Structure 1
Amino acid sequence: MHHNGTQNNDDCKPLGSLTIPHLKDGVLVHVPALHEGWVQTRCYLFYTPPPQQESDGSFLLGAKENWLDTMEFFCQDLEWLLHLEHYRFWSQIVFDQAAMDMVLSFLQDSYPFYMISEFPCDEEMWKMYQNIHRLIFLIINRLATHTESKTDYMTPKLLGELIYNNYIFTIPVLIDLCLIYGQENRQQLMKIINTVFEVQPQYQCDLAKSIGYFTQALLGVGMRLDVPLQSAAEVPTRLKSTKNRLTVETLTDLINHVLDSAISISSLLDIYPPACAAFHQQLFELRIVSFYENTIPELYHKLEVLVNRDTTQELYKKLKTKLEMTRVELLKAFRDMLSSSINDMLVKKDNLSPAEVKAIVDDYVSVLSDCLGDKRFVRDYHKKYPLDQDLDMLAQLCPEMDKLKSDYLLEAALACFDTPPIRKKSERERAAIRPVSPPSQEPEEEAKATKQKVSGVRLDSLITQVKDILPHLGDGFVERCLQYYDYVSDAVVNGVLEGQLPPELQVLDYTLPRIPPEDDGTNEGHGLSLEQEEDDELDKIDYTKSHRGKRKGPYRDLRQMMKDKSHREEFRDLYARLGVVESVDDVYDDEYDDTYDHLDVSVEDEGDLERRPFVVPRVLRQKDDSESSDEEAEVEEDDVDESGPPRDQFVPNPEEIRARAEQRRLARTSHKPKSRDVIGQPKGHGQEKQVTINRSNKTAHKSTRGNHNRRVGAQRKRQQGMVA
């Protein structure tokens, strides 16, 4: 049906009740404005991604020209659709499915904002892409508009029915719009999506159902990496058979899928904040925490194992950057979901009772408390969104908040750090540690003086803070960035992630290692840092005397060490000089006769001092000798028979001592060893006395060895009647 007249809507009727007059077989009839008769048959072209460049930057022969020609016809179809009259436009969209498929083809195959850098470097192709990008957004904007003018409009209810029943807008389409237009056309896109949800409330139900698909996407990645899950019932059956070997291509697809899912959730929550309540109602925050804590580290591990090689360094850096973007987007999504109830409370604070405010605050604290076991996530979240600031704000909004619980929450968050987090200093504290410049300094010198170099433990801590978020960066590169940003770690992270580093930092190698500065003597008089003192102490250690492993001593056991008398030789010369020993060759002789050594019969040498006369002790004297004179004693000594034993001998002969000791030893070894038999004869044949004694001794001394509680256990069993 072709209209050969003009639209006449002087009564300003909406599209649903408007009729258009036209001639049919010479008869003027009125046809509804929204009718399939107004559809024009047309062969559409669909959007296709641009061809990729070769390694030298060129394209395959004819690929670029073919794509430009095809997209030129595609743009003509878009412009034709866009310039249709209001009733013809909606009739074409509603009754011609191919027209809507043409529009959706661009949303499905275009570049999201985080991958736009991968578009081929060609000016003609980029201009064509930008033109298509603009035309599609104009068509989307027209599809979400129920009033174009006073004569071209429809009721919001009719718009909601058209876009919902004909699948013009779906939750996946809205997410694609967020990924493609969320950065450049944020405000207008927010208006479009808000209109869609307002004119059709059923989209809220579809949004709640779509959360389950996001959950399956995250759990599916974990199953692909064999990450243990909390419940196997949470994973669809089609995702459970994932034992295939992981390759570089598969890992690349997984990382791209994870990044796309994270940015899709984050962008939807950013463009349409009411969606946060739906995610929060299903506790999707805990899904994010579990994925962040378990799956993300496994992706890093697989990336290091499979891709971190000399031949794939470019791919390694690209994938690692995508993982870091994923972490940032997941933290942002968690933040939006968690704070949605707090934001609503701030808007409706005057209409809420204190009990309702306290319930919202308690819910906020409860979700954070459930995350305390996931230390990686809590550490990163606290760095990006400090918990102490949130808790202080909540304490001001709700004075009835449990102070003990909030303090515990903050302490548990700080405990997730290996080292205590560095608190941001106030201006007064920074001024206290900042060296004061002389008044005569120039402004440039004064600015340089305020930027003092941070070193030692403080610098290491700042580098660690940056590398916790961006672990692929080298320590040296991070240090240079910290110097540029006045040692503010958050500024460095934002500059790297947003690609806003200054030119002097962009030319550096991102994996630049850190080279410690050499000591040029400038630290003299200022003391040494902790690292320098430790290095000095280590330098003093003589590593040549160190021993690795178990050292073997010169002695096999204590007995061998006690028998070693070599130390005597070390002091023999000293004792000889002091007169303690007579000579080095003085060796004890067992054949020496010391019978009369107790008498003073030594020959006085020349120069000997006068000795005291020898006197026999009173105890050793005999009664007959005690009253005799010295002369009688001398006579008796002369009459003594040398063959017999001396009369006053009290020192035994060493030969006799050794002989008696040998006899005792032979007597001991000749005895039969003591029997320790506890088995004895079979039962009923009687037992020897020694066997009975051995059994008693074994039972009495059983506690001195392992398993000594068997006797106690046996007694307990007997008391309870368990053993007959």
Structure 2
Amino acid sequence: MGIPLDQQFKIEKKGIMEERLPVLHPSGMEHHYFVTYISLPPDVEDGAAVEQWTERMTFIQEDLSWLLQQDHTKFWCEVAFNKDFHSMLDSYLRYAPRPQRCIGIDHYSSIKNGKELEDSVSRLMFMCILRLSTHKESAENFFTPEGFGHVIYDNYIFDIPRLFDICSLYAINNKELLSKMIGNIFKQQEGYTRDLSDAIKSIKDVITKRMKVFLTQTGPKKLHTTATSSSQELIDLLYYILDLSCTINRFLSVNPQSKITFFHEDFHLTQVCSLIHSFETFLRAYERVQQSNEISDNIDIFEEAKYETIVLFNDLLASCCVDPLLINENKSENVESINNIFSLLITEKRFLAAYEDYFSLDQIIDIVHQTTDLLDDQQIKFYTDGVKQAIELYGTPSCQRKLISEQPSSSQPSASSNTLVKKSTNPDIQKIQDMFPHLDEKYIQVSLLNS
């Protein structure tokens, strides 16, 4: 058994003096130069820009291959102390194409080996991230758990924004690996749990400011706003909501233990409910602009943003409020939270109608009623009438059919289970839902349109 890297030391001579230094030290760097990542140029006919992109991607591919070939000590000296590596990593995590903004293969067709380069860099980056999250590579190359936690935290190898971005990029196809990776990071360094709470507060502040700016720009006082500028503001907000919701959804999918941190920071009330409130104004603004055919090309982005936002809301509601009722945890406290959310939901009828397209508030009401005696008949009628009114006013045709066909459930399913996803009558979509029962009809429709 070898000695942990965080407990290894070396002697270096400085003139006649000898100095005892940790092996993991800046002096162990190769000072390799890493170039920063840039995204694929929007105009693939711009030869100079494409050539620059191809050259950079080739350099990054070579740099990551070199880094992964280094032994344990040299690898960690480089990633811990080389500022160029951190710049490259940050640029990639920030600008690499997200799955929700997937670039079509046709976009790469005019670039020789363009798609292969992008995929190769993505794969090498993921391998590097996995190595960064591993405290034991072999019996000879490892850290103590405590030492590993200090190294990745004190040298800013991982922070919460980086973990969010990593999940946004890789969670869809690498959920199991990422679950182990992020679970290990949070296990070995408790500081990340504190940082997550701070990050949630920052997210709440940023979105509140962003929504405030949007509501000001699209409000009646801005009489000079042109249709084009109004459309662009709306499209920008669409992408913002989509990216934010996707990122948090991916993070929570690989690290579900963090849901309770979001809940304790009142994310489910202060932030998600802020999105609900803004959703009403957002939909009205969208409908006004849509009438002028300015953003019809972005209807798929609108549907995806709506879907991801609603899934995030339902996940926090179900996991942190409803599911605990099924195991008899803090019934009074959880029902109080549910009542607060229900009371808000029925006043935001556009959002509630959109929510009913994917899930069923009546089912959640039924679960709460069956598992507790804390909802009286008057409250239940008030909530169910609110759902009915929202569907009648703003529900889609398939959603409105629920008013006729939906019967109360006699079972007690988990509120976050797949039983809350509606089934399609379209045979093509049904085939996909049979293989992936958690996917909803509208989301599959959007995906088929994009393919």
Q: Give me the TM-score of the superposition, normalised by structure 2.
A: 0.79
Q: 1:415 aligns with which of 382, 389, 397?
A: 389
The equivalences for 1:508-657 within 5 A come to none
- Corresponding residue of 2:30: 40
User: Aligned pair 1:317/2:273, yes or no?
Assistant: no
Q: Is the 8 A contact 1:224 1:242 kept in 2?
A: no
1:128 and 1:307 map into 2 onto residues whose CA distance is: 41
- Corresponding residue of 2:247: 264
- Corresponding residue of 1:372: 346
Q: What is the letter of the counterpart of residue 154 of structure 1?
A: F
Q: CA deviation at 1:94?
A: 1.8
1:153 and 1:242 map into 2 onto residues whose CA distance is: 60
With over 3 angstroms needed to count, the CA separation of the structure-2 counterparts of 1:491 and 1:264, relative to structure 1, is: closer
Could you list the per-position Cα deviations for residues 134-167 of structure 1 after superposition, in whole angstroms to 9, with x for gaps in the alignment? 1111111111111111111112222222222222
Q: What is the letter of the counterpart of residue 442 of structure 2?
A: V
Q: 1:496 aligns with which of 436, 440, 445?
A: 445
Q: 1:80 aligns with which of 63, 66, 74?
A: 66
2:267 and 2:21 map into 1 onto residues whose CA distance is: 50
With over 3 angstroms needed to count, the CA separation of the structure-2 counterparts of 1:302 and 1:377, relative to structure 1, is: closer
User: Aligned pair 1:336/2:323, yes or no?
Assistant: no
Q: Secondary structure at the match of 1:417?
A: helix
Q: 2:210 aligns with which of 187, 202, 221?
A: 221
1:161 and 1:307 map into 2 onto residues whose CA distance is: 56
Could you list the per-position Cα deviations for residues 427-452 of structure 1 after superposition, in whole angstroms to 9, with x for gaps in the alignment? xxxxxxxxxxxxxxxxxxxxxxxxxx
- Corresponding residue of 2:99: 113
Q: Is the 8 A contact 2:249 2:308 kept in 1?
A: yes
Q: Which has the higher contact order (CA 8 A, sep 6+)?
A: 2
Q: CA deviation at 1:303?
A: 6.7
Q: Is the 8 A contact 2:307 2:443 kept in 1?
A: no
1:344 and 1:156 map into 2 onto residues whose CA distance is: 33
- Corresponding residue of 2:261: 278
The equivalences for 1:173-188 within 5 A come to 173-188=162-177
Q: CA deviation at 1:423?
A: 4.0
User: Aligned pair 1:402/2:402, yes or no?
Assistant: no
1:186 and 1:393 map into 2 onto residues whose CA distance is: 30
Please, which runs of 5 or more residues in structure 2 have no aligned partner?
394-399, 408-423, 434-438
Q: What is the letter of the counterpart of residue 146 of structure 1?
A: H
Q: Is the 8 A contact 1:44 1:77 kept in 2?
A: yes
Moved more, 156-165 or 126-135: 156-165
- Corresponding residue of 1:291: 275
Bigger helix share: 2
- Corresponding residue of 2:131: 142
2:335 and 2:70 map into 1 onto residues whose CA distance is: 53
Q: What is the letter of the counterpart of residue 199 of structure 1?
A: Q
Q: What is the letter of the counterpart of residue 361 of structure 2?
A: L
Could you list the per-position Cα deviations for residues 528-561 of structure 1 after superposition, in whole angstroms to 9, with x for gaps in the alignment? xxxxxxxxxxxxxxxxxxxxxxxxxxxxxxxxxx
Q: 2:152 aligns with which of 163, 176, 179?
A: 163
Q: CA deviation at 1:264?
A: 2.2
2:239 and 2:440 map into 1 onto residues whose CA distance is: 26
With over 3 angstroms needed to count, the CA separation of the structure-2 counterparts of 1:155 and 1:270, relative to structure 1, is: same
Q: Secondary structure at the match of 2:143?
A: coil
Could you list the per-position Cα deviations for residues 432-486 of structure 1 after superposition, in whole angstroms to 9, with x for gaps in the alignment? xxxxxxxxxxxxxxxxxxxxxxxxxxxxxxxxxxxxxxxxxxxxxxx9x858668
Q: Is the 8 A contact 1:16 1:158 kept in 2?
A: yes
2:325 and 2:103 map into 1 onto residues whose CA distance is: 39
Q: 1:359 aligns with which of 302, 324, 333?
A: 333
Q: What is the letter of the counterpart of residue 498 of structure 1?
A: S
Identical pairs, percent: 23
With over 3 angstroms needed to count, the CA separation of the structure-2 counterparts of 1:19 and 1:225, relative to structure 1, is: closer
Q: CA deviation at 1:65?
A: 3.7
Q: What is the letter of the counterpart of residue 108 of structure 2?
A: C
User: Aligned pair 1:345/2:328, yes or no?
Assistant: no
Q: CA deviation at 1:307?
A: 8.5
Q: CA deviation at 1:176?
A: 0.8
1:249 and 1:178 map into 2 onto residues whose CA distance is: 28
Q: What is the letter of the counterpart of residue 334 of structure 2?
A: I
With over 3 angstroms needed to count, the CA separation of the structure-2 counterparts of 1:213 and 1:303, relative to structure 1, is: farther
Q: What is the letter of the counterpart of residue 36 of structure 1?
A: P
Q: 1:381 aligns with which of 351, 355, 361?
A: 355
Q: CA deviation at 1:306?
A: 7.7
- Corresponding residue of 2:190: 201
1:114 and 1:322 map into 2 onto residues whose CA distance is: 9
- Corresponding residue of 2:289: 305
1:28 and 1:289 map into 2 onto residues whose CA distance is: 62
With over 3 angstroms needed to count, the CA separation of the structure-2 counterparts of 1:148 and 1:128, relative to structure 1, is: same
2:259 and 2:428 map into 1 onto residues whose CA distance is: 37
Q: Is the 8 A contact 1:269 1:336 kept in 2?
A: no
With over 3 angstroms needed to count, the CA separation of the structure-2 counterparts of 1:346 and 1:198, relative to structure 1, is: farther
Q: Is the 8 A contact 1:227 1:295 kept in 2?
A: no
What CA RMSD, in Å, does the superposition of the two structures yield over aligned residues? 3.6
Q: Give me the TM-score of the superposition, normalised by structure 1.
A: 0.51
With over 3 angstroms needed to count, the CA separation of the structure-2 counterparts of 1:317 and 1:34, relative to structure 1, is: same
Q: CA deviation at 1:425?
A: 6.4
Q: CA deviation at 1:342?
A: 4.5
Q: What is the letter of the counterpart of residue 344 of structure 2?
A: D
2:274 and 2:216 map into 1 onto residues whose CA distance is: 11
With over 3 angstroms needed to count, the CA separation of the structure-2 counterparts of 1:289 and 1:32, relative to structure 1, is: closer
Q: Secondary structure at the match of 1:117?
A: coil
Rg larger for:
1
